[in-house]
Amino acid sequence: MRWLDALRVPPPPLRRGERLALLAVFLVVTLTRFLSRARAPLDWDESIFATAVRSYDVVLHHPHPPGYPLFIAAAKLVHLVVRPEFRALQTVVTLAAILLFPAAFTLARELRFRFAPSLAAATLLAFLPSVWYYGGTALSDIPALALILCASSLLLRGARDPRAFIAGMLVCGLAAAIRPHLVLVAAVPALLALRNLRVRQLAAGVAAFVVVVGLAYGGAALSSSSVRGFLVATRNIETRVTATDSYRNPARPSLRTLAPHFFLTPFGGGISSRILLILGALALLDALLRRRAAVLVLLLMFVPIAVFSWLMLDATALTRYALAYAPLYAFLAAHALAVLGDLTRNDAIVVAATLVLTILLARWTAPALRTARTQLSPPAAAMQWVRTHVPRGRTVYVDNSLEQHATHLLPDYRVKLVFENANIPATAYAPGNVFLYDGFAMQPDAQLFRFDDDARLRELARPIYLETTLIPLERMIRFGDGWYSAEHDATGAWIWMQPSSTALLPPLPPEGILTLTFDIPPRELLPHTPIVTLRWNGVPVDRLLCTSPHMRASILLPSRNDAPNELRIDVDTALRPADHGFPDDTRTLALRVTTVTWERPGAPPAGRRGRLR
């Protein structure tokens, strides 16, 4: 109650030295935000948002329902000056990332943190790896977070100033016009202000929120191709999220498995993140023993959104969705440092510890930011290759998971979506046609586009679109039944097959040379020496007794003129890793194929022409 009563009094004014220190740190934060500006979109949501800036229609999922109306409207405004849609969005996000620092500092002050811990909380939040990285993307999370922190500060101030409450509700409506579920964060500050409000002041605040949200989403519906279609699309996305992303999806990892990732390691950082967790635990212990109201309020603000994310949101985008409750970790760490400052009666320890932690966070994050800032993302690099080498207006075959990137980056090409390689017409396997595949594919003459160094980036970004393969359709081998996904490492590439598999190889009349190199599983784990039978267009052409762990077969074969050639491989024994101490590996492994080539006689080896990008 004493803490609540203290909300009626403004925080003590900053002294001159404190104002200078705040300005200096703010300038550093501002400059470092530009180090995270990615060179090209990586996440498909970035391309969806960019397409929405070009042509807004929620019915077509440009962007996803319910439409992120304020985010897209701000980007459209910036787009008048910054022409590339991706850069316009990125400019909005960068400005929000800069403003996140003063928003966090102001919130800490309203929670009655002293100056040094308030500065520590804002600084640590700004340099959390996920916060820093996503502040350079074209995604909506950082703008929504900055607005909800600003709204929370104003709502806490509403305990002594009704006008601040009304302004806070208005800003809360703006945050809801980007990411509605973040309203959970501001609910507690709003409730704390109620005890000092009159009915008409409360009504004015609620009206401000309702009007802003109504105008935003009403405008989104009217700006789409159909208001009814907007409502249907919104209902459908709610159903999809519940069925696919939430705990109700039986294929989703269990809540118990996900809990450590959502609550203990949601933002990257290596050893620095573990230090933050230790400081957070100390803050919770201090709050329990000394009944710290500010920590209780922080928990009530951010734990519900953390639990909501854990239950309902896509676990593959954990670091992104955890941005909604990232302030909790920074503020708890700052509170723990404040306790150490109290014990030593010297806030210098707060400043020194914050500086050390910030340096550790920055050193950990720097490689990921450098990769994103200096290199095109794999989908963007592959599509830039298309724009350079494939005439405009030509049909480009694209893996369906790359649809949104292609819509944004190849608007002047005819894009044909391919679902699991199953719907490419026979006429497409012609010189000059290409297929963009999301992931690694072991194919002759394929070009693999990937980051040079993405180890840290993989811990921050959604783990998709980190590899894109461009396959010349004229040379493409279509792996059918019996094959697992291709794999690779620094030493080479391979693809495992089951005891029976089929593949279609392109016409190469009148004849060609089929070359296979493969490894068998460890001989001591197999019941007998494997025998491999090769059938070409239904006719047996070779039978190999695998007396060596590494085998090679090269055969001159006739080729069909106008239809693919079918290769069938049968192996009379196989290995189940689950039976040999690997219970999570349920595959049945017969051969580990490292090369499949189908060449005209006298052609140079395919491996000489293939290259990685």
Instruction: List, for residues 539-572, the tens digit of each pLDDT value.
Output: 999 999 999 999 999 999 999 888 889 999 999 9
Give the CA distances from residue 560 to residues 234, 480, 557, 605, in Å, rounded to whole numbers and listed in that order.
50, 18, 10, 22
How confident is the model at residue 607, as a pLDDT? 41
Residue whose token pair is 């963009």: 436
For residue 420, pLDDT over 90 is answered with: no
Between 40 and 195, the higher pLDDT residue: 40
pLDDT digit string, tens, across residues 170-195: 999 999 999 999 999 999 999 999 88
Torsion angle in degrees (nearest 10) through CA of 71, 331, 127, 357: 180
As a whole number, mean pLDDT of residues 121-149 equals 97
Q: Which of 218, 236, 216 is nearest to 64 (CA)?
A: 236
With 0-12 / 13-18 / 19 or more C-beta atoms within 10 angstroms meaning exposed / middle / buried, residue 312 is middle
Contacts of 340 (CB under 8 A, 6+ apart): 349, 350, 353
Q: Which of 221, 295, 612 is nearest to 451 (CA)?
A: 612
* pLDDT > 90 in the chain, percent: 78
Q: Which of 292, 303, 323, 314 is nearest to 148 (CA)?
A: 323
Phi, psi dihedrals of residue 552, rounded to the nearest 5°: -145, 135
Going along the chain from its start, the domains and CATH numbers come out as 2-8+43-225+261-374 (no CATH), 375-476 (no CATH), 477-613 (2.60.120)
Any alpha helices (H) in 128-198, and if so which ranges? 129-134, 141-157, 162-176, 183-194
Give the CA distances from residue 354 to residues 119, 339, 347, in Å, rounded to whole numbers and listed in that order.
9, 13, 11
pLDDT digit string, tens, across residues 292-311: 899 999 999 999 999 999 99
**Angle at CA of residue 115, ends 113 and 116, nearest 5°:** 100
Q: How confident is the model at residue 1 (pLDDT cuts 50, 70, 90)?
A: confident
As a whole number, mean pLDDT of residues 577-601 equals 91
Q: Are strands 500-505 and 511-519 parallel, antiparallel or unpaired?
A: unpaired
How confident is the model at residue 603, as a pLDDT? 61
How confident is the model at residue 442, as a pLDDT? 86
How confident is the model at residue 167, as a pLDDT? 97
Helix (H) or strand (E) holding 593: strand 591-599
Q: How confident is the model at residue 421 (pLDDT cuts 50, 70, 90)?
A: low
Q: Taken in order 17, 18, 21, 22, is the CA torsion positive or negative? A: negative
CA neighbours within 13 Å on the CB side: how many for 280?
19
Considering only 86-90, 326-330, 562-566, which range has the smallest mean pLDDT? Answer: 562-566
How confident is the model at residue 231, as a pLDDT? 95
Q: How confident is the model at residue 256 (pLDDT cuts 50, 70, 90)?
A: very high
pLDDT digit string, tens, across residues 284-294: 999 999 888 99
Give the pair of three-digit tokens for residue 292: 């710290």
As a whole number, mean pLDDT of residues 402-409 equals 95
Tell me if 430 sits within 8 A of 473, measured CB to CB: yes
Considering only 1-5, 87-91, 101-105, 601-605, which range has the smallest mean pLDDT? Answer: 601-605
CA distance 531 to 396: 41
Q: How confident is the model at residue 341 (pLDDT cuts 50, 70, 90)?
A: confident
How confident is the model at residue 490, as a pLDDT? 73
Order across the sheet with 434-438: list the strands: 414-418, 395-399, 434-438, 467-472, 447-450, 611-612
Q: Are strands 395-399 and 414-418 parallel, antiparallel or unpaired?
A: parallel
pLDDT digit string, tens, across residues 391-403: 987 889 999 999 9
Phi, psi dihedrals of residue 244, rounded to the nearest 5°: -105, -50
For residue 613, pLDDT over 80 is answered with: no
